[in-house]
A and B are shown apart, each in its own frame.
Chain A
Amino acid sequence: MAWSFEFRMGLVWAVIVTVLMVVALWLTRVAENVAPLLLPVLVFFVFVWWVDRIK
């Protein structure tokens, strides 16, 4: 697997989305409102858009 482009990018994006999910979960718990969960959802769709544009 090594540090190929695919592995590095997959790792970086997955870590970003996971961190945002934890933050959003905490905010959801504090505010009793699920709106913060839109944050990781939006960032994930940026990832999907980005993967589609890899050259």
Chain B
Amino acid sequence: MAEAVEYYFVALRLTHFLAGIMWIGLLYYFNFVQIPSFKELDAPVRQALIPKLVKRAVFWFRWSAVVTVLVGWLYFFSRFALDGYPNPAGNVWWYYSIMAGGLLGTFMLINVWGIIWRYQKRVIAATEGALAGKPAPPEMALWGKKAVTASRFNLVMSVPLLFFMATASHLALF
């Protein structure tokens, strides 16, 4: 029985790590590679890349965010239910640190779906429309501005998020 529980936790952690690497990796790709590169590209090249490259990258980005956060909370509450509070090792800080990191990650997930994807899908649809001969809507630049602001927020927020996750088992702050 104990072994089965450990396999369950390992499966959750592994899924959380893999999805998290994909999510934050794509976040860094957008912020450090794609956004600055797109500023240097000509409009026709950008138009060609948005429906192919950006659409695909944003798909993996938003769904890996969902998996990371949901599996992370499932792991947290499973630990809480099985180990009790404080856990047998008396490690109270672990709960606080993971809870703080989890909340910051949840904020980032809300940004991904509530701001970034909400505006990014309009940009993608408008670009596809432009390729089909429709005029680009004047709000397009504003949509990009909102999505990028939320993306920059997530970029900065990833540092304290990973700090809380990394220090949960190693450094009790309070």
Task: Among B103, B114, B153, point to the contact of A10 (Cβ < 8 A).
Answer: B153
Q: Mark B88-112, 1 if CB is under 8 A from A, else 0.
A: 0000000010011001100100110
Contact B96 A10 (CB under 8 A): no
Point out the residues of chain A lying under 8 angstroms from B142, CB to CB. Answer: 54-55
Task: Among A5, A10, A18, point to the contact of B104 (Cβ < 8 A).
Answer: A18
Interface of B (DSSP majority class):
helix
Interface residues of B (CB under 8 A from A): 31-32, 35-36, 96, 99-100, 103-104, 107, 110-111, 114-115, 142, 145-146, 148-157, 160, 173-174
Q: Which chain B residue shows the least CB distance to A18?
A: B160
Interface of A (DSSP majority class):
helix
Interface residues of A (CB under 8 A from B): 1, 5-7, 9-11, 13-15, 17-18, 21-22, 25-26, 28-30, 37, 40-41, 44, 47-48, 51-52, 54-55
Instruction: Contacts A11-B156, A18-B157 given; indicate if A41 touches B103 (C-beta within 8 A).
Output: yes
